[in-house]
Chains A and B, each alone.
Chain A
Amino acid sequence: MHRFELARASSLAEARALLAERPGAVFKAGGIDLIDHMKEHLLEPPRVVDLKSVPGLADVAARGDGGLTIGPLVTLARVASHQVVAKAYGALAAACHDAASPQIRNVATIGGNVLQRPRCPYYRLESYKCVKKGGDVCFAVGGENRYHVIFGGGPVYAPHPSNAAVALVALGAAFVLDGPKGARTVPAGEFFTLPSRSPQRENVLENGEILTEIRLPPAGGWRSAYAAIKERAAFDWPLVSLAVSVKLEAGVVNDARVVLGAVAPIPWRSTRAEQALRGKGLGSETIESAARAATVGATPLSDNGYKVPLLQTLVRRTLTSLA
């Protein structure tokens, strides 16, 4: 195994300095995804800068505007069981609870979950130099693609792995990124980037930047839900997932966010499905049209066409649960 030094930072500034000192150094939160990368030699950092020792990154706090701030180092288990999250941001609690296994949820952090790299086997195996790793080919095309994307593919066809991210986009969250040039706030919906823009990355986080806060807007009037379909009931990656939040007034959908997971290289907002809902009650006809709208424009690969009807079912069921 590759040798590295573990550096414990006591502040964000120190963390950034420790990173900058050693080219190739990386930050570590829970370490779940990082250790996987190191074991497979996808990353061989000379230094790992542990953020766990930085105070204030693992707090959940109410915000003055009625929203909520979740620190990036809060574990998935804690997010899932947090009373305010469970009550006001149901989609997020459900998405975190649905991830991985209890053992992993006790260690994995929400920041790490959102920033984890794709689970595509071609990316994860050292022997394939795929587009994600700077090569020329996405091996899923013409190879195994049962678990790959039906939206937004090219030149990479690996789905985004984070389902917490799907919920956060649906909830209108924002990410605070703290970097050498200062802090900036990026809406979750603009944080993730398509491979056509940057094939080797999945988001706008710059080297040296740290995700320091996840901000949730006030939930007043909104209701949300998350659901997924998986092969195995636990410890599995969804075939399709979905987070929806709707603002209902007098039974009419005032606003809606419909975000599809495991089907695109980013959490995929279905503006068509949202349009089908706006200004309507959550009756069966509206739900049906939203379900069909959600898969318009899908371009399945050779072996993942089954995701289309699965998504429609998931949209139908999830909206029905919110009605």
Chain B
Amino acid sequence: MAEQSETPKPSVKAKGGLPSAPETMEVQLAPGDLPPWDLDSRLQVVKGRTPRLDGPAKVTGRARYAFDVKVQGMLWAKMVRATVPAGEVVRIDTSKAEALAGVKAVWTADVRTVRFTGQDLAAVAASSPEIAEDAAKLVEVVYEERSFVTDLERAMEVGAPLVYRPEEMPGPATVPRSGNVVGPQAPRRGGGRGDVEKGFTEAEVVVEGTYRVAVHTHSPLETHGVVAKWDGDDLTVWASTQGTFTVREGLAEALGIDRTRITVLTEHMGGGFGSKLAPSAVGSAFAVVACKLAKKAGAPVHLFLDRREEHLCTGNAPSALMTVRLGARRDGTLVAMHHRSFGSAGIAGGAGTGGPIAAMYTGCPSLKVEEHDVFTNAGPAAPLRAPGHPQGAFALESAMDELAEKLGMDPLELRRKNESHPVRRVQYDAGAKAMGWERRNKKAGDAPGPRKRGIGMANGNWYVIARDRGVGAEVRIHRDGSIEVFSGAQDIGTGFRTAMAMVAAEELGVSPADVVMRIGDTRYPEGPGSGGSNTTNSVAPAVRLAAHDARLKLLGLAAPLLKAEVGDLDAASGRIFVRGRPGTAVTLRQAAARMPGEEIRCPAERKAQYATYRGDLAGTQFAEVEVDVETGEVRIVKIVSVNDCGFAVNALTAESQVIGAMIQGASWALFENRILDGNFGTMLNPNLESYKILASKDMFEAVPILTEVANLGNNTSVAGLGEPPIVPTLAAIANAVYNASGARVRSLPMTPDRVLAALADARRRA
């Protein structure tokens, strides 16, 4: 632990930014907040590498996920889903299902208009999963079917079947709409400056490309679901969620009961990637249904979706059709950028992809961003790891590569010229070195064949998103010296549990393994939903404050024993000692034994982000691929991912997240593709056999590099990392494919048929 003033001042100087280019900044503290950890802080635990505290439980199967929960008298529920993509429900007949022995409760939906295959219609709860499945098949649904459209580009055509009647269309009425298309809209975070048409007239070189990305489903290993149990008016819900409190609020509202009656528990969860931010799921109210069935049956209910349902109604990343036009001077200086995109989030909105172009290359004087949502008769999209950004960066960064080619310029130099923040410069150097950028083909496709190697790169961006209101934490020191840390937030898989133990351990001078973490329980202090890369940076500052308070109280207990003032004491390795005289010490345990009661409780509230924080996160990636130009097969050899995440609390799990993002991005670029049958509106690959996700044999050398930046946004200097490392991956791979083969693949996934078509196109042009 660094020697810091024990009594916070409202304003302090701190050393922030890059270690290679530190900046001393004046930081305004909120009342009661601590000075931030900065480049001068001598941290013992934080920024180190701590294996996951729950790792042994997970790999031995002892970790209990919500899916694994079994309670006395529990029933099993199964949903009945629409089998047609559009129409009106004329009748739902549950009589045969209700008559089946073992069926205890039945629920039917109020909504009668069907807009996608997989929509909730009914549910049954029975004494076994097999009976529930049989009963679900006995529910008879009569539809009056309507014409429908599942394909993005067909939905844009004049005269296409309408997903919504104009008056039913979701979204603000101020945005222009026509047929199934809503837009143009500016991206959520703004965008647009200068006069873009004038910019293009001033440009000496212009490129324009149209890029397409298929729908990608989240496909977490643990499907969505809950176990719901009533005790009188009290409700306990074990949920596979990335927002325990969101589930509680959603259920309170839907069931019309007070939140105090509801406890949501998520001890471990098997992935979400954004799809588990909703109280149930974006396309299903299964959690509410489970609670209603449990109430009706007077017994606990287990309702988990199967893999098919997971694909159909729990969210996806929208498809995208994007045209990017870039104008530059001969020296590579960007003078005009135009992004016009259409995307389908199914029956939902939110398919924008203009985020990256709105946030990067900000020196370019003119920019126009036009996003359009296109409704289709398909399951609604949900945020997926940097919503819209991997798609948008694929278009923008492919176009940047095309511009570099046309200018005869090194693609990395073009980025350096137009995006030259000091953090970016450090990242370009680190990435280029780790990849060996000089090894790339100077002329695209110039490698020896037929298996040609090439290297590409791409930039990405994200934002520092922190929930700095209404987030808390509590540290308890027991009389026997044991330590507990409480946060109601869940560990989506990032290693949140371990990171919070590390923050507390840093303040208390103990090892993370000495801290017992209590998380994923709405009876504990409020935490955020894990969205926007905000969990660690929202909760860590509160944990630090609580732990700091506990530290002061422990030092206070030790002071009389050591005959010293609290201000002269320090804590490390489980001991409290007089600073400069490590021999004059007591153990934390000895100090704790002096407490008057049985425990010291130290709650804390997250303070506001400092005014000094930089709101952007930078990332850049380099990919090396091998393209078989005779078969169109693409094999990824290596990816180097360089990321700014502020201080990484746990470098080990931070790198793990970066590697996970590279894999998910590579899988998106090469394989993943939700296939809907345009004739019947059915998903043809609703499984994990033909919905293809990158598997071990396609794995590549993954090199994560964390760019240390003292963010000075809060008392821990932590920023965020869940999302940014997936943003550049798609484009970096596409650019590497171009460098290897000379083929510009503008449609994802890059399956052999598309690569062969792009190669044929390149040959025609040559």
Contacts and interface: CB of A to CB of B under 8 A. Distances in A.
Contacts of B631: 229, 310, 313-314
B753 interface: yes
A309 interface: yes
A234 interface: yes
Interface residues of A, number: 31
B661 interface: no
B561 interface: no
Contact of B695 (A127, A143, A234): A234
B682 interface: yes
A146 B679 contact: no
Contact of A143 (B134, B633, B679, B694): B679
B698 A232 contact: yes
A125 B752 contact: no
Contacts of A146: 753
A231 B752 contact: yes
B440 interface: no
B697 A143 contact: no
Contacts of B612: none
A69 B685 CA distance: 37
B3 interface: no
Contacts of A1: 130, 133-134
A306 B682 contact: no
Interface in B668-723: 670-671, 675, 677-680, 682, 684-685, 689-690, 692, 694-698
Contact of B679 (A139, A234, A235, A310): A139
Contact of B635 (A233, A306, A313): A233
Interface string B405-423: 0000000000000000000
A232 B677 contact: no
Interface string B624-636: 0000001111010
B632 A306 contact: yes
Contacts of B695: 101, 232-235
Contact of A306 (B685, B689, B756): B756
Contact of B675 (A119, A144, A230, A310): A144
Interface string B740-766: 000000000001110011000000000
A121 B684 contact: yes
Contact of A234 (B130, B684, B685, B698): B698
A1 B133 CA distance: 6
B511 interface: no
Interface string A103-135: 000000000000000010110010110000000
B584 interface: no
A142 interface: yes
Given A127-B83, A232-B695, A232-B698, A143 B677 contact: yes
Contacts of A313: 630-631
Contacts of A232: 671, 692, 694-695, 697-698
Contacts of B680: 127-128, 139
Contacts of A142: 679
Interface in B59-78: none
Contacts of B632: 306, 310
A314 B680 CA distance: 35
Given A1-B130, A142-B679, A231 B751 contact: yes
18 contacts: A3-B130, A101-B695, A119-B690, A121-B684, A121-B685, A128-B680, A128-B682, A143-B677, A143-B679, A144-B684, A231-B752, A232-B692, A233-B697, A234-B695, A236-B692, A239-B753, A310-B631, A317-B630
Given A1-B133, A146-B753, 9 more contacts: A1-B134, A3-B130, A122-B677, A139-B677, A144-B677, A232-B695, A232-B698, A236-B692, A303-B753
